[in-house]
Amino acid sequence: MTVEAPALARALGLTAYEAGQRLRRGGAQLHRVLPLPEAQAEAARLEALGFQALAIPEAETRSAEAPRRALGGCAEGDALWLRFGAERLPVAARDLCLIVRGPIVREYQTRAAARKAIRTATLEAGYRFHLHYREDPTPIEIDPWAFELGEGASGSSFLTLSGWIAALAASVPTDDAFRSLPAALAPETGAAPGAVRAGEALLRKRPAGRNEAAVILDNLRQFRVYSAWRAAFERWRRR
């Protein structure tokens, strides 16, 4: 169906500008987070207005908050062979229902005493790939800066992984709309080890005369939440 900005603005309680931005972004979008009965009522209201809406139980979006982190791997034939500790598993396009990818914003938390100071050290931006299985709700998460390329692979891990995943994406839906969302920053959680991360650890040391270590913020949790509901939507849509 063709959706006009004024109709979308009235249905979702948005300004005309916000509705226009949503239409420009396109694709599946999260409307509201509500208790399931209220979400079902809201979905019914939107459908009565001629929109497509789906209420998804929150429990089906929880697994992406604790993804399986691939530590390394290589491409062999039509599959990626990914390493999880001592375990090594193949992942092929036929196993997947969705690939979600997006940039991770990383920055230092601004302290009141340091607002007028010029910070010379900057943080490496991040990126994540989520590979979502058709049935298993727990995705595979790949951090290019904490991923060891297998034997025979060389060059940039990000570019190499992007090429491998692009080959999978030829027959698997891919969502990269996360890049257009405003970043919701929170304290960094459990960064995987890697050369870049090891270098940054030196920058976290307490500066002379300060009692607290540098706090790094990122939007990784926001990415995982986005990836979770987007994959849940894809599975429900296929039912």
Token duo for residue 39 = 């979400």
Nearest Cα to 102, choosing from 219, 197, 237? 219
Amino acid at 140: I
Q: How far apart are the C-alpha atoms of 233 and 28, rounded to whole Å?
A: 8
Q: Which position has the higher pLDDT, 169 or 28?
A: 169
CB distance 53 to 46 below 8 Å:
yes
CA atoms lying within 13 Å on the CB side of residue 224: 23
Nearest Cα to 132, choosing from 142, 123, 140, 143? 140
Nearest Cα to 177, choosing from 215, 116, 230, 234? 230
How much is the pTM?
Answer: 0.81
| Strands of the 186-187 sheet, one edge to the other | 106-108, 216-218, 186-187
Predicted pLDDT at 69: 96
Task: Provide the pairing of β-strand 174-175 with 96-104.
Answer: parallel
Task: Provide the pairing of β-strand 216-218 with 186-187.
Answer: antiparallel
Q: What percent of the chain is predicted at pLDDT more than 70?
A: 84
Nearest Cα to 226, choosing from 54, 46, 103, 43? 103
Predicted pLDDT at 66: 86
Q: Which residue has the tokens 């910070």?
A: 119
Query: How does pLDDT run across 167-226, given as a tens digit for each residue?
Result: 999 999 999 999 999 999 999 876 555 545 555 555 555 555 555 667 899 999 999 999
Q: How far apart are the C-alpha atoms of 224 and 232, rounded to whole Å?
A: 12
Q: How far apart are the C-alpha atoms of 221 and 114, rounded to whole Å?
A: 26
CB distance 225 to 61 below 8 Å:
yes
Query: How does pLDDT run across 87-140, given as a tens digit for each residue?
Result: 999 999 999 999 999 999 999 887 654 455 555 556 888 999 999 999 899 999
